Amino acid sequence: MFCNTCKNAGISSMWTTTGSEWLKEDCIERHQQSKKHEKAVSAKNSNQLTIKEGFMQQMSNNQALIIGCMRNVYYLTQRNIALNNYESLCDLILYQNNYQYQTGDEDFIQNLRPPLLQNHSEFTTSSSSTNYALYKNAVAGKELLSSIFTIIEESVIAEVKNSPCWSLLIDESNTNVISEKTIALVSKHLVNGEPIFRYLGLAQVTDASANGIMNLINLFVNQKGLDITKLRHFGSDGAATMTGNYINLN
């Protein structure tokens, strides 16, 4: 008969090596009361997590996974890279994390192959890898981007609202990503007494006349909940629609 508690704790004794042939109750009780067994029990208890500790540890792991995915989304967005590349970027990072200790003795060409994670069944066995798979799909990427955008937008809008006054700057925005005609809106306001610029957003232009742009600006300002009475200055690129003497915004 062996003592698994002592064996798992690495205690060297008869109860972990050869075992005991004596099954008498007093023999077992003596072992239970021995210092070696008590030490093994203490080590076991110290290594065991409570339900709360285990839950908090799992939450911490999941939080780290989500933060990593949000970094990937932010990286792509900051560099104007389509979110269609989000899942493959997550696959690449996970692949490199799992194979970061590959040595030069291994097949060099094999090391350079793209990460086909579907063929690596070991990645789907752990709960953390399964959770990662839930967060790295295209739908989750868009939801993470929306979350990041919402937090930043709320922070910027709060700055403008708390400023005693603000200025609005607009300019036509043409990018290679979208074909629609848009204008970019930027605010200049005070934060802790310092004037700063903040990007407010893009608005699609359907009517490029002065009245159409004016209606678009009013709609944008109202949707963001900004106080138009605090607006002290309006700036543009000097286009005729903005500065003309007849039908214009000035």
Task: State pLDDT tens for residues 195-210.
Answer: 999 999 999 888 888 8
How confident is the model at residue 76, as a pLDDT?
A: 92
* 31, 15 Cβ separation under 8 angstroms: yes
Statement: residue 249 has pLDDT above 90: no
Token look-up 């990503």 returns 177
H/E segment holding residue 51: helix 51-78
How large a percentage of the chain has pLDDT more than 70?
A: 66
Q: What domains are there in the chain, each with its CATH number?
A: 4-47 (no CATH), 51-143 (no CATH), 164-243 (3.30.420)
Tell whether the torsion through CA atoms of 140, 119, 112 and 132 is positive or negative: positive
Task: State pLDDT tens for residues 107-128.
Answer: 555 555 555 544 444 444 444 5
Q: Which two tokens stand for residue 217?
A: 């600006």
Confidence at 29, pLDDT banded by 50, 70, 90: confident
- 168 versus 241: the higher-pLDDT residue is 168
